[in-house]
């Protein structure tokens, strides 16, 4: 059974209505006070925002502003301006053009790590673009310009070598190939110099096994660098110290065959002669095989 609603007397109704109005007015007052309190606590409360659309800035204008900053030597500012093209005109020719210019601006501004990241992003998005080899070249040069002296870690030199090598392999007809090949030789020489430095350090402390590994790396990986002559001499010296005579003789023989006028060969010959030995190549030696593989043996 459904119960009928309870009927209030006029006096009760008036009282209830009055209370309701008082509660409503009080609620408005509290709400206003609450807003005032929140605004005083919110540092952004005093600002008023208008919802209106701002007109898009023409892409050419943004690009020209980037160029102007670049001409003033403000690489960082230019990079930021070129980055706006991708934000305002995504997936467009303007966006692609802005990204390569952003890379160049970062490179010019000495922001090498940023230039590397932007260049790699460009290559990932536009691998078939005519500017892809240039992006890779800028990334490689960003590593190259951060290569320290051989007393320090050579991670940057290794990455520069990898990037230049990739450029030559992926874009063999690029205008940047010739300079990349030159930079490859320079970075290889740098890495070989690091190995020789560490090898000599171990050799002076008579840690022959550790020294041998370093000199082997130079002969095995960096045969076309200027350090290979000394590396062969050091192998002669190290193998003699270890009593591995045939490898010492082979190192000296390969050195004399490839660099007969080298002072390092004269020193190796004198070292062997002092022990009653002569250079004598063992064609089964890893040294002989390494040079024959490269066509130098």
> Can you give the pLDDT at residue 40?
42
Q: Please report which residue ranges of the chain form alpha helices under DSSP H.
A: 10-41, 59-71, 75-88, 93-108, 112-125, 132-144, 155-170, 177-204, 208-221, 228-242, 245-258, 263-274, 286-293
> Can you give the pLDDT at residue 56?
75
Indicate left, alpha or beta for 73 from its phi (over 0: left) and psi (-120 to 50: alpha).
left
Q: Is the pTM of this model over 0.85?
A: no
Q: Give the list of residues 6+ apart from residue 126 with CB closer than 8 angstroms, or none.
A: 96, 99, 132
Task: Tell me the C-alpha to C-alpha distance, in Å, between residue 277 and each of 134, 270, 274.
Answer: 55, 9, 7
Cα distance between residue 27 and residue 78, in whole Å: 55
Cα distance between residue 36 and residue 50, in whole Å: 21
Backbone angles phi, psi at 183, to 5 degrees: -65, -30
| For the chain, domain boundaries | 60-146, 192-293
Burial of 133 (0-12, 13-18, 19+ CB in 10 A): buried
Q: Which fold has domain 60-146?
A: 1.25.40
Q: Give the list of residues 6+ apart from residue 245 with CB closer than 8 angstroms, or none.
A: 239, 277
> Can you give the pLDDT at residue 291?
86
Cα 220 → chain centroid:
26
One digit per residue, the tens of pLDDT, for the chain of length 297 reads 334 333 333 334 433 333 334 333 334 343 444 444 434 444 444 455 455 544 578 999 999 999 999 999 999 999 999 999 989 999 899 999 999 999 999 999 999 999 999 999 999 999 999 999 999 999 999 999 999 999 999 999 999 999 999 999 999 999 999 999 999 999 999 999 999 999 999 999 999 999 999 999 999 999 999 999 999 999 999 999 999 999 999 999 999 999 999 999 999 999 999 999 999 999 999 999 998 766 555
One fold for 60-146 and 192-293: yes
DSSP 280: -
Cα distance between residue 231 and residue 210, in whole Å: 14
Helix (H, G, I), strand (E, B) or coil at 136: helix
Domain at 192-293, CATH homologous superfamily: Tetratricopeptide repeat domain (1.25.40.10)
């Amino acid at each position: 059974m459904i119960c009928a609603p309870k009927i209030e007397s006029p006096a009760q109704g008036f009282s209830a209505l009055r209370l309701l109005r008082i509660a409503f007015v009080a609620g408005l007052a509290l709400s206003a006070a609450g807003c005032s309190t929140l605004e005083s606590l919110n540092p952004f409360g005093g600002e008023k925002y208008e919802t209106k659309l701002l007109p898009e800035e023409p892409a050419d204008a943004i690009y020209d502003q980037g160029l102007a900053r670049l001409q003033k030597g403000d690489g960082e500012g230019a990079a930021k301006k070129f980055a706006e093209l991708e934000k305002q005109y995504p997936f467009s020719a303007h966006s692609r053009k802005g990204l390569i210019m952003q890379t160049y601006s970062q490179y010019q501004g000495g922001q090498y790590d940023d230039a590397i990241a932007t260049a790699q992003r460009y290559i990932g998005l536009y691998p078939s673009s005519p500017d892809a080899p240039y992006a890779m070249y800028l990334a490689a040069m960003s590593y190259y310009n951060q290569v320290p002296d051989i007393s320090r870690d050579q991670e940057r030199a290794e990455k520069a070598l990898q990037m230049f090598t990739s450029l030559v392999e992926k874009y063999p007809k690029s205008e940047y190939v010739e300079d990349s090949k030159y930079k490859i030789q320079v970075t290889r020489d740098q890495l070989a110099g690091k190995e020789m430095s560490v090898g000599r350090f171990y050799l002076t402390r008579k840690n022959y096994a550790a020294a041998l590994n370093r000199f082997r790396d130079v002969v095995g990986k960096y045969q076309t660098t200027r350090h290979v002559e000394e590396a062969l001499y050091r192998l002669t010296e190290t193998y003699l110290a270890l009593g591995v005579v045939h490898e010492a003789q082979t190192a000296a023989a390969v050195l004399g065959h490839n660099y007969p006028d080298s002072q390092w060969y004269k020193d190796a010959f004198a070292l062997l002669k002092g022990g009653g030995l002569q250079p004598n190549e063992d064609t089964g030696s890893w040294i002989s095989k390494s040079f024959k593989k490269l066509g130098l043996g």
